[in-house]
Amino acid sequence: VFIESYTSIVPGLNIEELIKMTKKDVKIVSRNILENLSGRPLLEEALREKKVVLLTPGDPFIATTHISLRLTAHKMGIKTRVINAPSVLTAIFGATGLQVYKIGRIVTITFPYPEYNFYPYSSIEKICENIKHGLHTIALLDLKVEEDRAMTVAEAAELLLKLGSQVCDEILDNNTPIIVLARLGSDNELILTRRLGEVLNLNIGPPPHTLVIPGELHPLEIEALECFAHADRKVLESWNLKIKNLKRKH
Amino acid sequence: VFIESYTSIVPGLNIEELIKMTKKDVKIVSRNILENLSGRPLLEEALREKKVVLLTPGDPFIATTHISLRLTAHKMGIKTRVINAPSVLTAIFGATGLQVYKIGRIVTITFPYPEYNFYPYSSIEKICENIKHGLHTIALLDLKVEEDRAMTVAEAAELLLKLGSQVCDEILDNNTPIIVLARLGSDNELILTRRLGEVLNLNIGPPPHTLVIPGELHPLEIEALECFAHADRKVLESWNLKIKNLKRKH
C-alpha cells in the first residue's frame, strides 16, 4: 500500500491511524517517484505479481499524472482497477444547493509567475464566459503541497479582481457574490457566500479552499445559499439582475 | 436509518447484508414519502431528538428532492449533515481518461412522451452546443425505478439520432463516437467506445447506464480511450477533424 499526498490535502488525515486501521504497511510516495520516475517502483512491485494499492487524496483523475500511470501499467500488462471516493466537484452540490445542470466549464486558478509574466488569464476568461451564459463556475485553487503552499480564497479574489478588470470588462467587481468552501467533507468545513471585495480580507483557516462563482440563480438556489452558505439575499438578487442585463447585451 | 432506492440504482446492493453489516434497522422509504409528504416521517423522528440517517444511492443532490428536504429540516431547526459518496460524475474521469476541464454542460436525457408531444430536445441541443465548442458532454439517462424502467444506451442513441437530425444539423450521425458506461464502480462495470449507429443495437446488460458524447479529443484522451474503453483510434481521429471543421464554420 502506497499513499501520495501531494496532489491534494485531506484535512485531518493521520497516516499512523491509517496504518493501525488497515493493519497494512503504508509508504508515502513523492511527486518525484510518480512523475519523474513514472511510478516505476510501484509498477515493479506489481510485476512481481503483487497487488499494489495507491491511495490518493481527493479526485486524482482531475490531473493527468494518474491517467499516465494507468496507461503505463496497461502497456506493461498490469491490470488496474479504480476505486472511487467522494470528490469536491460533486460534494459542492449537496453543500451549496447549486444545480448540477447549471455548471459551466470547471477551472483551476493557478499561481501567477510575475517573473515570467505568467498570469492565469484563461481561467478568468472562462469564468466570465460562464457568467455571460448564466452558468456557475467551480474554481479549484492551486496547490503546491510539497512547497507547503496552497492558494487562499483571498489570493484568488485578488486575481479575480485584477485580471478580471483586464480581460472581461465590468463583469467581476467588488459586489460579485462568491461562494467560498473550506475543508469540505471534514468536521470543520466552512461554506460562506460573500462579495468579492469582502473575500479579499477573508481568513477561512487551513486549506483546501474552493470557490464557486455563481451564474444566474434559481429561487431554490438562492434559498439554499441563504440556509447553508450564509448568503445575503439582496446581493444575490442584484447579481441576478446584472446577469440578465449582460445576457440582453449579448 | 432509512434508505431510499428510487433516485438511482446501486448494482449489487443487498439491504439484508446492509442490515447485518451495520447492525441497524434499515427501513425503505418511498418516493411518495420523500416527495409528496416532504419527508415528514423522517423529520418527525428527528424532532423527537433522534439521529436520522437517510441513505441514498449515487449522487442525490443532482436532483432537487434532497435539497428541498434539507431546506425543510433547516426551517424546522433540524441540523443536517451530508456525508458524500463517490459519484458517476467524477468516476467517469478515472474510467475513461477524459479531462475534467473539457466537460461542457451536463444533461439528462429524459424519456419522451409522444402522447404529449414531449421530446428531450433541449438536452440534445446542449450536447450539440458542447460539441461545437469542442467540449465533452456527460449525459445521464432517465430512470423510473418505481416503474422498473431505466433508459438503455440503445434507446438514448435512437433519441440522439432522431432529435439530433431535427435540432442540430449534421452534427450527430451514425459515425459520432459515443462512450457508453454501465454499472460504473461495480465488479462488472463495462466501458466501451462505439459509433452512434452501433449503439442502436448494443446490449450492455442491466442499468445504470451513462453516455459521454466526446468533444475534441487530446492525444492523451485518445490513448486512454483506446486502452480503457476499447476505442477505435480512426473513429476518434475523424471525429476530431469533423469538430475542427465545425469550429472553423463557427
Contacts of B89 in chain A (CB under 8 A): 89-90, 100
Contacts of A106 (CB under 8 A, 6+ apart): A89, A137, A138, A139, A140, B100, B101, B103
Q: Using the beta-carbon criterion (under 8 Å), do B62 and A100 form an inter-chain contact? A: yes
Q: Would you mind telling me the total number of residues written for chain B in this entry?
A: 250
Asked if A95 and A70 sit in the same domain, the reply is no
For residue B83, give how far its alpha carbon lies from the nearest alpha carbon of chain A (Å): 7
Residue A200 and residue A136 in one domain: yes
Residue A230 backbone zone (phi > 0: left; psi -120 to 50: alpha; other: beta): left
Indicate if A140 and A111 belong to the same structural domain.
yes
Statement to judge: residues B220 and B104 lie in one domain: yes
pLDDT of residue B195: 97
Chains A and B form CB pairs within 8 A to the count of: 114
Residues A194 and A236 in one domain: yes
Q: CA of A221: which chain B residue's CA is closest? A: B67
Contacts of A135 in chain B (CB under 8 A): 105
Reported as a single tens digit per residue, the pLDDT across A229-242 is 999 999 999 999 99
Q: Is the residue at B83 inside a domain? A: no
The complex's ipTM?
0.86
B104 vs A70, A95, A105: nearest CB: A105
Segments in chain A below pLDDT 70:
5-9, 11, 58-59, 250
Q: Using the beta-carbon criterion (under 8 Å), do B70 and A105 form an inter-chain contact?
A: no
Domain carrying residue A65: 2-75
Q: What is the pLDDT of residues A54-65, one digit of tens each?
A: 888 766 777 777
B126 and B221 in one domain? yes
Q: Where are the alpha helices (DSSP H) in chain B?
A: 15-22, 31, 40-47, 65-75, 88-96, 121-132, 153-167, 196-199, 219-228, 233-249
Among the listed ranges B19-23, B110-114, B237-241, which one has the minimum average pLDDT value?
Answer: B19-23
Cα gap A148→A140, rounded to integer Å: 17
The stretch B145-161 carries a mean pLDDT of: 91
**Residue that terminates a domain, selected from A14, A44, A75:** A75
Task: Give residue A85's pLDDT.
Answer: 79
- Do the Cβ atoms of A194 and A180 come closer than 8 Å? yes
For A5-57, what is each residue's pLDDT tens digit?
Answer: 666 667 677 778 878 888 888 888 877 888 777 788 888 888 887 888 888 87
CA angle B175, A103, B117 (to 5 degrees): 60
Give the type of residue at A104: G
CB atoms B59 and A228 under 8 Å: no
Q: Is residue A114 in some structural domain? A: yes
| Region for B112 from its dihedrals, namely left if φ exceeds 0, alpha if ψ lies in -120 to 50, beta otherwise | beta
In a domain, B197, yes or no: yes
Looking at the predicted structure, is the pLDDT value of residue B224 above 90? yes
Mark whether A71 and A92 lie in a shared domain.
no
Local confidence band at B250 (pLDDT 50, 70, 90 cut-offs): low
Distance CA A65, CA A73 (A): 12
Determine, yes or no, domain membership for B80.
no
Residue located via cell numbers 450564509: A230
**pLDDT tens, residue by residue, B65-124:** 788 888 888 888 888 888 887 788 888 998 999 999 999 999 999 999 999 999 999 999
A94/B82 CB distance under 8 A: yes
How far apart CA A182 and CA A203 sit, in angstroms, is 10
Shortest distance between the Cα of A1 and any Cα of chain B, in A, equals 19
Measured in angstroms, the CA of B222 and the nearest CA of chain A are apart by 11
**With an 8 Å Cβ cutoff, are A90 and B60 in contact?**
no
Digit-coded pLDDT (tens) for B184-202? 888 899 999 999 999 999 9
